Amino acid sequence: MLLITWLRVALLLSAVALNTLLHVGPLLLAALLKALLPFKRIRQACNRVLTGLAESWIAVNTAMLDRFTGTRFQVVGEADLKVDGHYLVLANHQSWVDIVVLQKVFNRRIPLLRFFLKRQLFWVPVLGLAWWALDFPFMGRYTRSQIAKNPELGRRDMEVTRRACEKFRSIPVSVMNFVEGTRFTPEKHARQDSPYRHLLKPRSGGVAFVLDAMGDALHAVLDITIAYPGGRPSMIDLIAGRVPAVHVRVQQRPIPAELLGGDYQGDRTYRTRFQQWMNGLWQEKDARLEQLLAAGRAEGPARP
């Protein structure tokens, strides 16, 4: 049985790699045309081609996972999703599997999810160039101590956010933000002395910068809660069929008018109000996550 499992992992990984190579070639060609011929209609056409290729890549990967893993996906909640909308997507973060989950749930239902990535990820073979071609922003992701020693580092990331949001204003987009800033682990939870049972403390700065740069262009916030009743999985766990179920709660929220147009860096009162809003979202998410986990445990450990 173990041998069969690892053969399946190897075959599925090979299939995903082949799917990636087949899509990246045309994607990079479209990106090159977009860079060399910076005329409005050509850029718009290239953007449509780039988005279509990315969505095709996701659809093929998702179909393979559905066929070979047997993981049950339960999605609940109400949202008026539009493929040509402008959304700020906020989610808890436990595993790299979160990205696969989000892509499966939202592919071709809302605009392509675009993540703010660590600058080092640009050098990931093949995928780094693909993310660059799709206008994913690459940021330094500096720590507070690093920014305190060199404030220019923080301004550099703010400028990256501003430029990215300027691009995003002109195209349908879903700006994805893992507000905790890192994946949840019990060690990080204890180190933070987090007041939440299942979550790390939210980081409000990145969300505030996005709202400041394009808040009037955003339709809504999509508040996503992801739960793994069988425990936090790795990507290998998912591919090997060791993730019995994933529970996802989608909640569409309006963007509070009082949070638009504020100065998060310079206005302490506004910053406090913004952080209180984020903390309130996280308190609700923590309770919702407990409900999803409890519902998953009540279903029992049986695999599909």
Over the stretch 139-185, which tens digit does the pLDDT of each residue have?
776 666 776 777 776 677 777 778 888 888 878 899 999 999 899 99
Listed as own residue / partner, the contacts of 129-134 with beta carbons closer than 8 Å and 24 or more positions apart are: 129/24, 129/28, 130/20, 130/23, 130/24, 130/27, 130/28, 130/54, 132/31, 133/27, 133/28, 133/30, 133/31, 133/50, 134/27, 134/31, 134/50, 134/51, 134/54
Provide the residue ranges of all domains of the chain, joining segments of one domain with +: 71-299
Is residue 117 very low, low, confident or very high in pLDDT (cuts 50, 70, 90)?
confident
Q: What is the pTM of this model?
A: 0.89
Give 128 or 91, the one with higher predicted confidence: 91
What pLDDT sits at residue 303? 43
The per-residue DSSP string of 83-114 comes to: TT-EEEEEE----THHHHHHHHHHBTTBSPEE
What pLDDT sits at residue 154? 67
**What mean pLDDT do residues 86-102 have?**
95
The per-residue DSSP string of 29-78 comes to: HHHHHHHH---HHHHHHHHHHHHHHHHHHHHHHHHHHHHHH--EEEEE--
Those residues whose C-beta lies under 8 Å from the C-beta of residue 268, and which sit 6 or more positions away, are none
138: enclosing H helix or E strand:
strand 138-139
> What are the backbone angles phi and psi of residue 280, rounded to the nearest 5°?
-65, -40
CATH class of 71-299: alpha beta
Query: Percentage of the chain surpassing pLDDT 70?
Result: 95
**What mean pLDDT do residues 49-58 have?**
96
